[in-house]
Amino acid sequence: MVRQYAGSDRVGVPLVPGEIERAIMTNWLPNRIMQTAALLCVGAGVLVFWLVLHQPWLGVTLAPQAEPGAVRIVAVDRNGPARAVPAPTQLAAIGAADASGERIRLEPGDLSEEPDMIESFVMIARFMERQSALARLLRQPRVVLYAMAERDAHDVIVAPAQSRPISDLPSSFWVQLVTGFGSLLLGAWVLALRPRDLPTRLFTLAGVMIMMSAFAAAIYSSRELAIDGGLFRVLAALNHVGALGFGGAMISLFLVYPRRLASPRLLWIPLILTALILMVDILRLQDDQTLVSQLPTVLYMLAIIVLIGLQWFATRRDPRGRAALRWLGLSVIVGAGAFVMLIVAPVLVDTAPVMQQGHAFGFFLLIYAGLALGVSRYRLFDLDEWAFRVMFYTGGVALLLALDALLIYVMNLQHGVSFSIALLALAFIYLPARDSLRARLQPRNRVESHELFREVVDVTFAASPQERSERWHGLLRRLFDPLVMTPLERAVTDVEIAHEGLEVRLPAAADTPALELRYPWRGEHLFGSSDRDLARELVRLMRYVEVSRDAFERGGVEERRRIARDLHDDVGARLLSGLYKTEVTDTHRVLRDALADIRTIVSGLAADHLPLGQVIAALRHEAGERLAAAGIDLHWPLAAVDESTTLLDYRIYRSIVSAHREIVSNVIRHARARRVEVAATQQGRTLSIVITDDGVGIDPANASGSAHGSGLRGIIRRLGDLGGSFVVAPAAHGSICEIRIPLVADAAATDAEADRPHVQGVSAPGGSSYSSPADAAQRMGDRS
């Protein structure tokens, strides 16, 4: 069959065997890699459980007893075969219940969790022989437990169960099991992401080594008393191979990642050294077994630390590599360092490990999880922040333990007192120093939070678009100090981090197109989630201030247009009419009206809102002076509206003043009235002003005209724009005019009524009425 594989340009041409192999490797599918890893986990897990559960079980919990060098039963399972044995008690020996009379005296060394902790190969051989003998004895139908409680001997015959319940497995077994599963699956996940990369393959190899070591140790370290010595030797060898293999894989990994420090051929050196160490162990060329098993682990750890230092120097100009290395190095140093300090180092100085080795395997899972994030470069831009947090709190725990030990051994304080003092010192000295430590370890040029809004306002209210763009660029440089800042041709809707934190893309803002910032802080760091959030908040704030600026500018334009319209429609029209007046008194009147309009316009500039009571009082005073000068009496009694504190927008009170002023002018010029009555009332959010005069009234013969006077047209337009109305009608003696206007402008009414005057006719007190609103408006306009 002829097939084209991905990565091959040849169609229809058969591939040679070597090319086929490479094509298959290239076409590894992530799901196949994960499925294979899952099958390996299932198979290895089944084998581990079978070996662990198919062991003789007594149902006792044993612990070594230093004095007098025996084994102690600390607990007994109530449903186990040895439920008749008193606990706690000393278990001196185990013997056969048959005629052979075989009896084995127990020693504390029989409970050794890890054979690598035994000093010499001779002692290991003796240990394995005793394990085989004890396992063979426990497989008999019945055994005798020679117990001693308070100097009283208790010989109890027990029938060991030939299988162990899963509920009896200790917590250390589950820690090692989860470590093995997690390591293999994490390695497979990273390999699935980048199957062709050498670092990911080395990383996966390290995961397989961890699983081998953890599963082997889980079987023999969780035994109740003994397993077959031959099986024990195989499992201990697998554990040793896995531990050394992990160290060799890590050394090889740091030789090529994040930067290549050596050629691929040199990667065989760690593997060859590992094989030599295993050969020394197998051939027993060194009698001191701890040197063969524990010293290489320490040396591997030191080699990894040296390689981390070399990689740190090699990535000084590579922020992505430095970020990955920071997380990788921290994971290895914290996790593996803790394992070496708590487990390996005490053995080298002939002291007991600080914690169980089974529980210490959890450190390897933490190491491997951290390595997985670094090698896969998952959220690489956040690794700096995570690394600082882990380092900070790890340093806090180390400082707490060191201070506690110092207070105990130097000042001879009790443990509870010393720990409390150390905890208080950590809470009040170390933890508050987090921000200062961050500033020293992660120096970045940033604008203080209390200055950020001021900086944004300065950018937004620059004099010109070019200056705004320059200030925006300057603010971004102060915040992120990028080496490169270039505009983007495509639109960006939100802040984006690209190329694993090397770049961040910003939407258009401040009269500047979308920007791409590269290599932040002079190329020494990466953009992180906190930087993205800061940039996102900065753009949001910029847009908010831009909207406010645009609203401010629109308000200024509208205010200028309003002043121009008022000056043209009112003051200009009055002054123009004054040019054609021949009488001095008429000219003076026109000038007074123009000055009144100017005062109203100026008051609108001085104050955006005026109380309704103040506007009514000003109208009363102005109307009184004008009517008195014309010899007309004004009757305008005080009412509740005079005390109203409702604030009126400029357009509202300007329309009220203009309409009322025009009506009073028409009365003075045309009505020949002797008395004017005014009543102002407020009904909810509506103001009503009714003006009645006793003049000549409206001539019904002129009611059919369609032309309106210019003053009346202005009243209709102003009130209609605000959703108000103007009512004019004849009375028995004179006329009635009513102004109705909402005290709050209705935007919908303004849009609907802007081009349509709205006038209503009302019935006069004397019974006359006009059916057409235009008729009443026409007669009032004829007089103007």
Query: Can you give 232-297 as a three-state secondary structure string?
Result: HHHHHHHHHHHHHHHHHHHHHHHHHCCCCCCCHHHHHHHHHHHHHHHHHHHHCCCCEHHHHHCHHH
Q: Which residue has the tokens 């080594």?
A: 209
Q: How confident is the model over 347-367, as pLDDT tens digits?
A: 655 666 667 777 777 777 777
The model's confidence at residue 386, banded by pLDDT at 50, 70 and 90, is low
The span from the CA of 271 to the CA of 278, in Å, is: 11
pLDDT given for residue 480 in this prediction: 85
Percent of the chain with pLDDT over 70: 77
The model's confidence at residue 704, banded by pLDDT at 50, 70 and 90, is very low
Q: How confident is the model over 455-486, as pLDDT tens digits?
A: 888 888 888 888 888 888 888 888 888 888 89
Joined tokens for residue 63: 């612990």
pLDDT given for residue 121 in this prediction: 80
What's the one-letter identity of residue 71? V
Percent of the chain with pLDDT over 90: 17
Nearest to 718 by CA among 623, 597, 624: 597
Q: What is the pTM of this model?
A: 0.58
Torsion-angle region of 675 (φ positive above 0: left; ψ -120 to 50: alpha; else: beta): beta
The model's confidence at residue 655, banded by pLDDT at 50, 70 and 90, is confident
For residue 659, pLDDT over 60 is answered with: yes
The model's confidence at residue 48, banded by pLDDT at 50, 70 and 90, is very high
pLDDT given for residue 1 in this prediction: 38
Collapsed DSSP state (helix, strand, coil) of residue 738 = strand
Highest mean pLDDT among 109-123, 368-382, 502-516, 601-615: 502-516
Q: Among 191-195, 214-218, 546-550, 746-750, which stretch is predicted with the lowest mean pLDDT?
A: 746-750
Nearest to 598 by CA among 661, 669, 645, 553: 661
Q: Among 99-113, 470-484, 581-595, 746-760, which stretch is predicted with the lowest mean pLDDT?
A: 746-760
The model's confidence at residue 8, banded by pLDDT at 50, 70 and 90, is very low
pLDDT given for residue 304 in this prediction: 85
The span from the CA of 331 to the CA of 370, in Å, is: 5
**What number is the average pLDDT over the span 148-170?**
86
For residue 159, pLDDT over 70 is answered with: yes
**What number is the average pLDDT over the span 621-625?**
86
Nearest to 689 by CA among 749, 732, 641, 646: 641
**What number is the average pLDDT over the span 415-422?**
80
**Considering Cα of 585, then 587, then 593, then 596, what sign does the dihedral take?**
negative
Highest mean pLDDT among 188-192, 366-370, 559-563, 764-768: 188-192
For residue 44, pLDDT over 90 is answered with: yes
What average pLDDT does the chain have? Answer: 78
Collapsed DSSP state (helix, strand, coil) of residue 733 = coil
pLDDT given for residue 763 in this prediction: 30
**What number is the average pLDDT over the span 96-121?**
84
